[in-house]
């Protein structure tokens, strides 16, 4: 029997196709219509989304996207593409095909799975680029893949990697990136590890995301030999009036100078590559808030992005889960 032809599908969140109000509205519409993302009764959310959110939010979000867009396009898109290219190069000798997909926007999960089918791939590893599992992200990737595969007569062998929040290679790579940044720029009084927030209710319903974030942060702090007073975990990107995971990143940054902490470093170990939430919210808006509150120095430490170290981590993860 001939060996099975294997494909790897790396999946990230996605981005508007261009930094325009119309493109942002299309992207947000697809994103916010996902029932995994917003856990409200559908009729109620339909009214809120179409009468209030989509008419108003795209213009504000467009201004934020415009700050981070560059000649290469959306950082999330091109950094994910370059990361996939490095992984493809590393796996080429094993005859493993690699493609990147976006949960929202292009290239879609469905189109990339169809490309694998056309190429004769009969074994697919799906790796959502979310180190910590969440029903709002990881499970949504599974939903999209399953929705496409439900239409196929011949289902390929599927491996779905649900998380890698305590993978030793991932933890070491993040810790090393922090060390390298400190070597070049100096170390500040407090290291904040900021993760994307979620409604607190989801934890009560069984979502392990909060626990995964705590474990990731603690493992990185241990690798760096940090004392308790030298680091803390925070959560960013709160949306709406519901209680979200705490402590809130922005509130913490505004409070720290009052407690005598005037210099901070901040890293986002839940983001595989830099995107709107890191480059605009954390690196720009939250920095301004911290300095305005009395802080004197603020450094954002970039994500692993398309670094060789990041590619090595994911290659090892894919091969070890094979």
| Ramachandran category for residue 283: left, alpha or beta (phi over 0 → left; psi -120 to 50 → alpha) | alpha
Question: Is 154 labeled as ligand-binding?
Answer: no
List strands edge to edge, sheet with 190-196. Answer: 231-236, 190-196, 263-267, 297-301
DSSP label of 151: T
Are residues 252 and 108 in contact, defined by beta-carbon separation less than 8 angstroms? no
Q: Which residue blocks in the chain are alpha helix, DSSP H? A: 21-32, 42-48, 54-68, 75-91, 109-118, 138-149, 168-185, 200-204, 209-223, 249-255, 276, 286-292, 308-320
- Mapped onto helix, strand or coil, the DSSP state of residue 255 is helix
Question: Could you tell me the CA-to-CA distances from 148 to 43, 132, 236 in Å, in that order?
Answer: 25, 24, 32
Question: Is 148 labeled as ligand-binding?
Answer: no
Binding residues for Fe(2+): 196, 277
Binding residues: 196, 277
């Amino acid at each position: 029997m001939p060996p099975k032809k294997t494909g790897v599908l790396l999946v990230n969140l996605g981005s508007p196709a261009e930094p325009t109000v119309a493109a942002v509205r299309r992207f947000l519409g697809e994103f916010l219509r996902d029932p995994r993302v917003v856990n409200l009764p559908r009729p109620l959310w339909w009214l809120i989304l179409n009468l209030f959110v989509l008419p108003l939010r795209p213009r504000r979000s467009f201004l934020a996207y415009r700050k981070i867009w560059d000649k290469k396009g959306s950082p999330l898109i091109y950094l994910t593409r370059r990361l996939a290219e490095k992984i493809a190069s590393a796996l080429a000798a094993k005859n493993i095909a690699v493609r990147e997909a976006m949960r929202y926007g292009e290239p879609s999960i469905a189109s990339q799975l169809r490309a694998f089918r056309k190429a004769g791939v009969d074994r697919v590893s799906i790796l959502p680029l979310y180190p910590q599992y969440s029903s709002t992200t990881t499970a949504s990737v599974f939903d999209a893949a399953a929705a496409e595969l439900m239409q196929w007569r011949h289902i390929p062998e599927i491996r779905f990697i649900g998380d890698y929040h305590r993978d030793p290679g991932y933890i070491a790579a993040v810790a090393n990136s922090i060390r390298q940044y400190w070597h070049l720029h100096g170390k500040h009084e407090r290291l904040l590890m900021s993760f994307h927030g979620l409604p607190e209710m989801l934890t009560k319903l069984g979502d392990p995301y909060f626990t995964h974030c705590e474990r990731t942060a603690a493992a990185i702090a241990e690798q760096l030999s940090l004392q308790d007073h030298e680091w803390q975990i925070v959560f960013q990107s709160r949306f709406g009036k519901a209680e979200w995971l705490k402590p809130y990143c922005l509130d913490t940054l505004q409070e720290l100078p009052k407690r005598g902490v005037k210099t901070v470093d901040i890293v986002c170990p839940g983001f595989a590559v830099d995107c709107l939430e890191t480059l605009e919210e954390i690196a720009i808006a939250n920095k301004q808030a911290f300095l305005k509150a009395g802080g004197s120095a603020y450094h954002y430490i970039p994500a692993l992005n398309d670094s060789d170290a990041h590619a090595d981590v994911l290659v090892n993860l894919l091969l070890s889960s094979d």
